[in-house]
Structures are given as structure tokens and as C-alpha cells.
Amino acid sequence: MPGVGQSNEVINTGYIKPSLISHTTTSTLVHSMMPPAMGMTTGYALFSTNGSVSNSGMTYVTGDIGTNVGLTSGFDPLNVTGFIHPMPDNATNMCTGSLLMLYNSLNLLAPNVELLNPAQFGHSMVLTAQTYHLNAATMLTDTLYINALNDPNAVFCIQINGALTSVAKSKVLLINGAQSKNVFWKIEGAITLNDSTEFKGMVVVNNGAIVLKQGVVLDGAAFTTTGSISIAGSTIVSPYAGVSTGVEPIVVNPDVELTVAPNPFGSFTTINLKNDSKYMNCNFSIYNTVGVEVLTSTVSKQLITLDTSRLSAGIYFYKLSDHNTIIQSGKLISQK
């Protein structure tokens, strides 16, 4: 049965060591699980719905940082590739809703592997694509392997009913094509990653603080529904780096006055081209964060209403183009 193990042979095969689990609900690998919708959280490396976000020491962050209740402080803008929200704003307010939906999605997943002895989590254990559950405070020691078995779309969820603490210099390693954006940690309590821990995945804490100590490297992101975030000389790299959470449009040609409203939008939005624009019959396209075109329309009149009801919550980009020349581009936010 696939799941966890303790040896190099297990790293290659993914077999379970029976003494570490109570049961599984399937005897085959689970490859059909889809990652939950990230929504506005994709832009953030660090976010708290309700709590301060602070840093001390030389910390490097790739992704946005913010909180919707409290202040964000101590981060050097030169060391942050992303937007620092020093205080709550429209973007952090929208991220609050996305984080709640993300938490609910993870919380509703039915675990199919129960891991025993949470105090001994790690120790060269191997996890394959399953939903795991640990029913107590958990200690990560030594090395934990996340094994995708050569499936880059493999999704992992680790549900912890209690706090998670790492021993200094412990590691979570991705092997055989596993991606940090597909590894989800749902933690009912605080998380503390001690000095020089290497951690992978999207951390979703419910009602708990997040503490990353000196030398921690997080390939992923850390969110909490309620609690402070404290960083001390760490490195955090979001797998969605480059997706900004500001809402200002990026205008290539300032002489073109095309507006898209409402933005953020729900089931519809409108394109409004200025009356004297020479760009009638141009192409207007919307793309998701990985560059896939999800909606397109010809701007055949001054005001056009677009049906956006099929677009899931999250960040999108638009461009107005004329014969493959980009006239204007910007960012859109779907808020369902």
C-alpha cells in the first residue's frame, strides 16, 4: 500500500510501513485529487487574516506580505520581491475571503491515511499522493520525503490536529517530480520552524501563530486565519512568485483610456473604451496566472459587458491588442 516508509527502498517504491499507520481507505495511489483553489492567496508568501506580521534579521521573501488586521513591519523592501502591505487595504481584505475558502477546502478533505505517533513525524518517512491525518501536536524530526512518483500533478495534504514544530536542521524534501505548490499543510494550531529547517509546501494555519526562526528556508507560503507571523532571518519563496496583489493597471500606452469595471468583478465586468479611441475592433483577452487565455472578445463598440461567471476566484491579466501589438495591459481580480 502506498504512503510512508523508512528506507531508501521505500523512497523508490512508496510502500507503507504498517506500524506507522492505523489504516488506509484504498490500496492504490490517489492521483485524482485536485489542488484547492488558491484565489487571492496566490500572490502572497506571508499573510495573516488577523494578526501582525513582523521580521527581524536579514530575511528574503519572494511574494507579497500582508495582514488584514494589524501591521506589517521590519521587512527590507530591497529584500522582498513582491508587494509589502504595511497596513490592511482592499487587496488584504480580498485575500481574507480566499484564505477562508482555502482552509475550508482543506478541512473538508476526508483523510485516507491516519499517521500514528505524531511525535515521531519524519525520520526518513515517505509520503505519496494522499490526504494524511495526525491527531495530535506533531514534531518534525530529521527528514520527510514528499514523493510524487514522477507525477508532477500529484497533490498532497497533511492535516495536523494540533501544533507543528520542527527540530533544528530538519528537512522536507521533494522527490520524483513533487512540487511545493501541490503540498498543503492544514494545521490546527501554531507552527514553529526552528533554526535551519528546510520546509516545502503551502502552510495553512487555523487559529495559531507562525514562527520561522534563523536560517529557515520555506519553499512555499505561510498563512494563518488568526495569529501573528514572526520571521527571524529566513528565506521564503512562493511558487507563485511574480503574481502581485496590487490592483493598479499596467498601462503600456497612457494615451489609451480603456477601463475595466468592476474590478474586482463577480459574474460580469465591462470594457469601456474612450469615445475618441482609434482602437475600435481591437482584441481584448484575459489570461490566468500561467498565461492561458480564458476569455477573449472583440471590442466592437465603446461599452461591452463580459460574462465572467465561469472564471474562478483569483488573479487574471488582460491585454488590448491590435494586430499582435499590445496597446494596453493590466490586472483583474475575480472575487466570487
pLDDT in tens, 62-116: 999 999 999 999 999 889 888 888 998 888 888 999 999 999 999 999 999 999 9
The CATH number of whichever domain residue 279 belongs to comes to: 2.60.40.10
Instruction: Check pLDDT > 90 for residue 14.
Output: no
Number of domains in the chain: 2
How many of the other CB atoms lie within 10 Å of CB of 309? Answer: 11
Over the stretch 229-265, which tens digit does the pLDDT of each residue have? Answer: 999 999 999 998 654 444 333 334 445 567 887 878 8
Predicted confidence (pLDDT) per residue in 46-66, tens digit: 999 999 999 999 999 999 999
Query: Does residue 2 sit within a domain?
Result: no
Domain with 160, as residue range(s), is: 8-237
Q: Are residues 218 and 108 in the same domain?
A: yes
Residues 95 and 27 in one domain: yes
In a domain, residue 248? The reply is no
Q: Where does the pLDDT of residue 126 fall: very low under 50, low under 70, confident under 90, or very high at 90 and above?
A: very high
Q: Are residues 76 and 199 part of one domain?
A: yes
Put simply, whether the predicted model's pTM sits higher than 0.75 gets the answer no
| Distance of alpha carbon 3 from alpha carbon 30, whole angstroms | 10
Is 233 a member of any domain? yes
| All cell numbers assigned to 35 | 489542488
If we measure between CA atoms, which residue out of 169, 164, 184 comes closest to residue 121?
164
- What integer pLDDT is reported at residue 23 of this predicted model? 47
Instruction: Measure the N-to-C terminal CA separation of the chain; round to a whole number of Å.
Output: 39
Residues 230 and 297 in one domain: no
Return d(Cα 331, Cα 247) in angstroms, integer. 6
Q: Note whether 274 and 139 are same-domain residues.
A: no
C-alpha closest to that of 206 among 241, 155, 159: 159
Parallel, antiparallel or unpaired: strands 131-134 and 113-115: parallel
pLDDT confidence tier of residue 193, bands split at 50, 70 and 90: very high
User: Which of 237, 269, 284 finishes a domain?
Assistant: 237
pLDDT of residue 328: 82
Looking at the structure, tell me whether residues 191 and 296 fall in a common domain: no
> Within this chain, do residues 232 and 267 fall inside the same structural domain, yes or no?
no
In a domain, 242, yes or no: no
Residues 56 and 123 in one domain: yes
Residue 291: pLDDT above 60? yes
Is there a domain that residue 250 lies in?
Answer: no
> Are 229 and 306 in a shared domain?
no
Q: In what order do the strands lie in the sheet with 268-273?
A: 258-261, 268-273, 303-307
Can you tell me the mean pLDDT for 288-315?
84
Same structural domain, 279 and 154: no
